[in-house]
Chain A
Amino acid sequence: MSAERSKVTLVVDGVEVTADDGAMLVDAAKEGDVEIPVFCYEPKLGGPVGACRMCLVEIEGIPKLQTACSTPVRDGMVVYTRTDRVIESQSAVVEFLLVNHPLDCPVCDKGGECPLQDIAMGWGPGRSRMTEPKRHFRKPMPLSPLVRIDRERCILCYRCVRFSQDVAEDEQLQLLERGASSHVGTFDDHPYIAPFHGNIIELCPVGALTAEAYRFRARPWDIEDSGSVCTLCPSQCNVMFTVRDEHVQRVLARDNDDVDAGWLCDKGRFGFQMITSEERIVEPRVGGSRAGWEAALDAVAERLRSAGERTAAIVGGQTSNEEGYLIQRLLRGALGSANITSVDELEAGLARRLAAPELGAAVPDLDAAESILVVGTDPLNSIPILDLRIRRAIRQGRARLVVASERPTALDGGAEETARYAPGDAAGFLAALAAELGNRRQAGAGTPGRAADEVPGDGSDWAEGARRIAGELRPGKTVIVYGERLGRGPGGDSALASLLECARALDLATAGAGVIGVPEGANGRGLREVGCLPGAGPGFAEAPAGRGLDRIKQGLLDGELDAVVLVHADPIRNLPDGPGWAEALRRARTVIAVSAFDDASTETADIVFPAESYAEKEGTVTHPDGRLQRLRPAVPHPGNVHPIWQVLAELGARLGHETGIGSVPEAVATIAAEVPFYAGITPEEIGGRGVRWQERPAASAVAELAAVPPEQRTSRTNLDRDDSGTLTADRLRLGTYPALWADEITDRNVALRFLAPAQTVELAPSDGERLGLASGDEVEVRSNGTGVRARVALNERMRPGAVFLIEATAAENANALPAELNVEVIKP
């Protein structure tokens, strides 16, 4: 994207080195195999601070020693890193750093992988003249239930504090006091609990911040590193599993600037305990009893054979491309059923158009965008690592952010404008936005535009919000991050069609601009692209229409479907109308579940196959921006768990549909042959960093994706607004949202359970006042005779008239309410 930076030549310790112009000396020196020691320097945290003074070097022509971390290279620069003066400064800084360090390496978790240890060995004086008492703190204190702090070991490099201030921007972790009394702490000793706080452990160059879960678990020589991708959410961060004795002990970031910029959220970092959970399903079960694989496969094959085209399958977001491909092939090829979908189903035509390669933005495009529109999603909840990415883009002053959503988002504070539409009104708002943007485009072209408030239909305040939002968006320089949830419900197709219109009006089909859709499931995009979509086969190929989620449920209830296969999917908990799903699964003649844990849906299953965890899986996934990434097994399968791709291939064979797939690379090759825009892709090409299919030559072969004619312009007036009702004292419009910590991952990891939110109903303060409710009140949210108990939280940024509940909580799940827009909030 950006032009190649010009190169400069300098001399470091007598070696000629070529480096990028503007690179910091410390990085440039590496080109000449010269290591300059650092502690505080960490480019991920922003600009250099020059605090630790470890990297002092001598530069010809400059009398004072300079910090290599903050000195940009210049052509012809002559640098010395091992002169007597420099060596003296290095040994001085090490000696100073150890003045108050306890030197407790034998009992320190960092021992063996500690920069302080390494640098003290490599650059230190080897002895200390310090005989004074060192400073003491109570230790090791829990900073949060997940992180412990040993302030005596701290060398005050500021990295953790800078992370909290300048990256996560939660500003909870601070340096307190001054001078030699400085220490890292929080307000009034409150815990530091924030969604990304685990990153400070990895940033710490000493053993001051340690993971509760990793303390005293392993030494570096006991462990192996295994690189893979986290599939616990659509961020798909690149991770490094620390494995000891075939168990995952730790998850570290495997920096990939194209994906995660080197950060992990706490779910990705600490959510590995479930891999070794005792509660895992580790062998097949038929009719509730343990069974061997042969028996289980026979049982399933027999039932599916009899169900035939009356079978449906629902694929969850943790499913890999290979698994997704094979399950759709099982249905379409072996059973003649088109009823295959994922939790991220979209109307096939829209899915196709949204996947157009020139319309897709890459994650790094956020860094250079002039404006960013976040619409219909809260990245913090749905794709956390993009929350950090967007914050960085704003902080660096390049991007102006606007947020349009039904519920307040974590990014609102950094937004130039926010528009808040009512739950279920996304389609109306986006239609108004598309009209406004279209008008501006026309006006720009010299044609007087129609004002947005002339949009037919009840625009309410959409036009006003649309005007404010549109005013901030720069044509050709905008990245839109949208929630694929916008496609849900009666107005969903219309909402996404309007989004496409917005993209067109903004000229987003250009380099550096575009859209990124945020799916619900980690591999939502990949699953659609390999054919887990009713009405479109692999590569969005034309395919017979099948049933989507709602019609699968209806089919099971009506008896029109006999069997349903759930792969990594728990519709009762995670989909709207959980009770409806429960009833549907109870009525189904056959329920087959592939799951790692027992849940409400597996309870209804006749046959259960144990699922692999993401650390055991081999295969590929596709990032929301189109980057194919490789999953590599880090640990062996526990118990009698088999690879799911193998199970699905075997099932196909038993049903007479031989796929010829005998390995994951063969599965990848088969997908590459069937999905035109993945053509020729191999695991080797994907490698450790992944590859965006839009940036491969094969992408051009599918330009017709974009050329698929849009369906007739979506009418804005036919939106189903009948049930919007009128606001009365006790009728409110309900919206639900996925909260970061409300899911089975939180529940399955003991260490994370404290984060699971109790059900909370959010209201605007004016509604709270009208209903006599205060924050903290216990209430019941009722709809059509069903109720969910929740605690009230008044939120000034909520839109009056709207209430929000959390989806997929372990108890009092909002999905337990019928799919109704209007609710009452009642004080028992």
Chain B
Amino acid sequence: MPETRVLFRDIDAPGLATIQGYRDRGGYGALKRALHELEPDELLSSLEDSGLRGRGGAGFSMGKKGSFLPRGEMEKYLCCNADESEPGAFKDRELMQKNPHQLIEGCAIASLAVGATYAFVFIRGEYWEIADILDRAVGEAYDAGYLGADILDTGVRVELIVHRGAGAYICGEETALLDALEGKRGNPRLKPPFPAIQGLYGGPTLINNVETLSNVPHIVNNGADWFKGFGSEQSTGTKVVSVSGCVQRPGNYEIELGIPSREIIYGLAGGPPKGRRVKAWFPGGSSAPVLTEADLDLPYTFEDLAKAGSMLGSGSIIVADDTISIPELALRTARFYHHESCGKCTPCREGTNWTTKMLDRVVRGEATPMDLEIIAGVQEKIIGHCLCVLGDSMAMPVGSMVAKFRDEFEATIEAAREAGHGALDHSPLDRPLTTGAQAA
């Protein structure tokens, strides 16, 4: 099955990243239309009608989210979440790198829709070269009058600031992003209040992902019905899916939601190298419970994946083939969340830390089958108890791996026992996790 390219249309065409190249393909027409032909409420209802769901992971209706912002004279904000840091996700990076103006136009229109005067693109600090591209494009947009104190001489003000993060996955959590943008440590906030009511600097704030906002100009140009023509009833539009891991053609593919997962993994990404089989796969980034070979024919939609006990999330598929050790995969997964936990809430901070230490022992061959019970039990004690979703993001995939690959965990433990603790020397985690302030 082929791709359906809307956001990725002409993605590698020379000059697309420049304002001229973008305009040559009709770029900024949607902004003009939004400024001259549509009221903010019309914009919002058109977005709501389109069924566009947030592409960052939660899948909430973008138009509805925008309508939660109070009307009236107060400072409102738009934040574009470009902190793409979920293992397996890299779609926003390519969208920003190759078509930055599509995002800028989306930000400008969304700002008009909710009455925001400041829009921020919070881009992860690791994407430095991408941020440079964005900054250049933002400069072009300012020069062309698409951004600034008086955009296209309409008296409307939209300032757009590219804010570079400094390396923390948690800043992709929308309230942590706000704290980080306010110059604090990126800790998630308690909700309520929700950002739509009290967000950045205490003002109403709309937060959307890069891909979500990149869709906005197309919806304004072509209408909600056109957008609904793509995808399934519940999951409208196209979706850029990042596929990586044990596949022959890793990369971003823009598809219509609803095609079988096998088509994405095998048809587009080429499947695992010859002679290997899919053992486990994350359908929606590393925080999604893993699925197995038996699940490959699931239609790739928010609903079907949820029914199968996992999630579509940001649409990032990671494939592990039969050469991959699941206990080690669990350790890599847990270690990531342990490293990225902000530390604010107890179950996440301690649970990710504890789980990582236990999985490390499993991999090193120092665990017993009883430890597996504890690992599974600890995941249950994390789920539903944390301040934000990060703790669950480890507990769900790790819990799913222990549940679905229990035999392999037990075999690993047993093999290590028989081999006499052979793996002790080179585990990356064979020293206690320490910090600079701790004892030398």
Residues of A within 8 A of B (CB): 48-54, 56, 64-65, 67, 70, 88-89, 92-93, 95-97, 99-100, 129-130, 132-133, 135-138, 151, 155-156, 158, 175-183, 185, 189
Contact = CB atoms under 8 A, between A and B. Distances in A.
Contacts of A155: 346
A92 B381 contact: yes
Given A177-B437, A179-B343, A133 B385 contact: no
A616 to B, nearest CB: 44
B421 interface: no
14 contacts: A48-B190, A88-B381, A92-B347, A92-B385, A96-B351, A96-B354, A96-B381, A136-B439, A138-B439, A179-B341, A179-B343, A180-B341, A181-B438, A183-B438
Contacts of B339: 179
A229 to B, nearest CB: 37
Nearest to A47: B190
A53 B437 contact: no
Contacts of A138: 438-439
Contact of B352 (A133, A179, A185, A189): A179
Interface string B325-364: 0000000000000111111111101111110011001000
Contacts of B439: 136-138
A185 B437 contact: yes
Contacts of B341: 178-180
Given A52-B346, A53-B387, A132-B354, 5 more contacts: A51-B344, A92-B381, A96-B381, A151-B437, A180-B338
Nearest to A132: B357
A449 B270 CA distance: 85
B419 interface: no
A51 B387 contact: yes
B438 A135 contact: yes
Nearest to B343: A182
Given A92-B347, A180-B341, A49 B385 contact: no
Contacts of B382: 92
Interface string B372-409: 00100100011011110000000000000000000000
By DSSP majority rule, is chain A's interface helix, strand, loop, or mixed?
loop
Given A65-B384, A137-B439, A180 B433 contact: yes
Contacts of B346: 51-54, 93, 96-97, 155-156
A175 B385 contact: no
A609 B174 CA distance: 68
A50 B433 contact: no
B323 interface: no
A179 B374 CA distance: 21
A720 to B, nearest CB: 50
A65 B381 CA distance: 13
Given A50-B387, A53-B345, A180 B190 contact: no
Contacts of A95: 381
Nearest to A129: B374
A129 B352 CA distance: 15
Interface of B: 168, 185, 190, 338-347, 349-354, 357-358, 361, 374, 377, 381-382, 384-387, 432-439
A129 B351 CA distance: 12
A175 B168 CA distance: 16
A135 B190 contact: no
B433 A137 contact: no
A100 B350 contact: yes
Nearest to A92: B381
Given A51-B344, A137-B439, A180-B343, A99 B381 contact: no
A48 B190 CA distance: 8
Nearest to A141: B437
B347 A179 contact: no
B347 A53 contact: yes
A96 B343 contact: no
B349 A179 contact: yes
A50 B347 contact: no
A189 B339 CA distance: 24
Nearest to A48: B190
A53 B386 contact: yes
Contacts of A178: 168, 185, 341-343
Contact of A67 (B190, B342, B384, B432): B190
A137 B347 contact: no
A100 B387 CA distance: 20
A178 B171 CA distance: 12
Given A50-B387, A96-B350, A96-B351, A181 B435 contact: yes
Nearest to B440: A138
Contacts of B338: 179-180
A96, A99, A179 pick with most chain B CB within 10 angstroms:
A179
A700 B263 CA distance: 87
Contacts of B357: 132-133
Given A49-B190, A51-B344, A179 B354 contact: no
B433 A135 contact: yes
A129 B377 contact: yes
Shortest beta-carbon contacts, A-B, top 4: A92-B381, A182-B343, A180-B353, A96-B350
A267 B374 CA distance: 50
A179 B353 contact: yes
A97 B354 contact: no
A812 B168 CA distance: 53
A180 B190 CA distance: 20
Contacts of A176: 435, 437
Nearest to A96: B350
A17 to B, nearest CB: 22
Contacts of B350: 96-97, 99-100, 180
B308 to A, nearest CB: 20
Contacts of A183: 435, 437-438
A53 B386 CA distance: 7
A151 B437 CA distance: 10
A658 B438 CA distance: 69
A70 B353 CA distance: 26
A678 B415 CA distance: 86
B387 A181 contact: no
Given A51-B345, A183-B437, A130 B385 contact: no
B349 to A, nearest CB: 6
A643 B113 CA distance: 75
Contact of A64 (B344, B374, B384): B384
A522 to B, nearest CB: 39
A93 B353 CA distance: 14
A65 B384 CA distance: 7
B36 to A, nearest CB: 39
A258 to B, nearest CB: 29
B339, B350, B385, B432 pick with most chain A CB within 10 angstroms:
B350
Contacts of A156: 343-344, 346, 349
Contact of A179 (B342, B381, B384, B386): B342
Contact of B438 (A53, A67, A137, A189): A137
Contacts of B437: 137, 151, 176-177, 183, 185, 189
Contacts of B436: 177
